[in-house]
Each structure stands twice: as C-alpha cells, then as structure tokens.
Amino acid sequence: MISDRQTLAERVALPDTPDLLVQFIRHMPVAVAMFDSDLRYLAASARWYQDYGLVGRSIIGQRHYDIFSEIPERWRRIHARNLAGERLSAAEDRFLRADGRVDYVQWENVPWRNADGGIGGVIMFTQVVTEAVEMRRALEQKADELQYYADYDYLTNVYNRRKFVELAEAELQRQRRYDGMTAFALVDLDDFKAINDSFGHAAGDEVLRRFAALAQRELRPSDVIGRVGGEEFGFLFPETDADGAAAFLARLRGLFKAERFHFADTVRTVTFSGGLAMAAGAASADLDPVMAQADAALLSAKASGKDRLLRAG
C-alpha cells in the first residue's frame, strides 16, 4: 500500500516532457494512467490494464468515462478539481463496479503541465486495496467477537462472572462518590442438577437460556445481570432500595414459575431462590462483603424451602 509519508507520485521521478512521460508510464510496475484535459487516455501501465480488466482492449485516445461509465459523480468532481490544478488523494475509496462488485482503491491524482505551464491533463496513480481492506475488516470482526466472548456467557448471552464483577465494582465505586445505594442479589435455579440428571444437559441449557431471556426482558436498562456460576445469576440494581429490588425479584419469580418446560413426555415448572443485600454509602464500596451477604441470604432461602427470596441481615 502507498505509504502515508511517501505517495506513489513522490516515489517516482517523473520525466519533464509529456512524450517521455508516456514512455515512462507504459513501463511502470504500478497502476498509472496519463490523461489529457478531456480525460482521454494518453498512456497506461500494464498494471493499470490488469487491475481494471482492460487487458486486450484498446483504450488510448478514449475517454475515461466511456471506458468506465460507472464512475460516480463524486469522482468526476474530483477530476474537475485536478484539471483546475489540485493534487488530490485518498487512502481508501469505495468503487462500485458496473457488474456490482465493490473494490477499494487507494489513489493520487496529479495534474501535469505543458511546456508553456498550462495544465495538460491528469496522471492517476492507483492501487486496488480490496484484499487488504477485507482482511482488515475480517480481523476487526474477529476482534469484536473475541471481545464479546470475553465479556458474555456464550450460552445465555448475559455477562459472564468476570464482566459482572467488573461492572458491579465500578457501580459501587460510583455509589461511594455520590453517596448512593445499590441493591445486589444472587439467584440460584432450584433443583437444577435434577433437571440435568433426569433430562440431560440440553434440557438444563434450555432452562438457563429462558431464565436469562426473561430476566433481560424485565430489567431496566440501568440494571445488570450476569451468570456467575453454573445455575447462579447475579443482579445489580443501581439507585434501588431493598423494597424495589425485592419487588422486581418477586415479579420475576412469578413470571418464571409460570413458564412451562417440556422435557421428554413431562411438563415441568422451575423455580428459583434468591438472596438480597444492600450497598449504601461509602461504607459499602467493597463488593466482596456485599456478595457474601447476598450469598448467605441465598443459602438460607435454599435451606428454608426454596422458591423464595430472603434479605441479608
């Protein structure tokens, strides 16, 4: 690709006269074409013919726009500016071909002058960079995918434990600065091992996916959910008191309990238990004790019969 510091036009020492330019351009190893003031071809390199599908065609003396009728108006305006004396370039320009293909071209257009100093036409230096552009975009897409899977649980599409903890810690720091409050909950699906053992892991995966989808649908945009264990999920409710968080989780318990799961010839319902803890003010800026309180409340909910929510303390 053409260097940002050294363009194609700067890399070649062009002869001073048009006749020598014509000969020079014909033998250049890069895609270069020379035009007169009507944008008729005076010369073109072999690479120009190859890059633009012109091998075997007679183009000398023909107008550029007759050869490439698909050239957009935007580029025609650029050519007009070149013929007015401007030297213009682009690192990556989209070119829609007549057959519908899209190419990306790096180019520089340089006006050339007659012996009397008048502008005789334009020399176009180009490089088709489609392959490099597509490769770069594929790498960017792959990087985005890797970042997604670094932050999200692949099965449920909610945050994974690492990302959830990161967001929870950031929220507690924010709360500490502004003396706010945050409700934190841990939720565990009841008797989940029995579902896996009786109906297989595919059935368990379906339960996890449907719970996560339901919770995401009901949460506010500011709330956060993450899968922090096998069948355990964490919830973060910024600027929410215990009553507000408990009301949400109670509604979610009812909605989830109403779901019907068809496993083999059996229709099952699934419940969950939860523990709720509060972080309020500067004294609760550390996540670990808040998680420990929610976990203790969750264990108590499990021990006292499941399908319930208990508050810490």
CA dist 125 and 109 (Å) reads 6
Residue 61 tokens read as: 């003396």
Q: Which of 166, 180, 163, 162 is nearest to 279 (CA)?
A: 180
In this structure, what DSSP letter does residue 84 have? Answer: T
CB neighbours (10 Å) of residue 276?
Answer: 25
Q: Which of 124, 264, 138, 108 is nearest to 200 (CA)?
A: 264
Burial of 109 (C-beta count, 10 Å sphere; 0-12/13-18/19+)? buried
Q: What are the distances in angstroms from CA 245 to CA 25, 222, 227, 236, 305?
A: 74, 13, 18, 9, 21
SS3 241: coil
SS3 159: strand
226 and 164 Cβ atoms separated by less than 8 Å:
yes
CA dist 122 and 282 (Å) reads 69
Q: What are the distances in angstroms from CA 29 to CA 26, 53, 100, 151, 311?
A: 9, 16, 28, 48, 76
Q: What are the distances in angstroms from CA 215 to CA 195, 225, 226, 273?
A: 20, 8, 10, 14
CB neighbours (10 Å) of residue 270?
Answer: 21
Active site residue 231: yes
The single residue of 108, 171, 231, 232 carrying the catalytic annotation is 231
Catalytic residues: 231
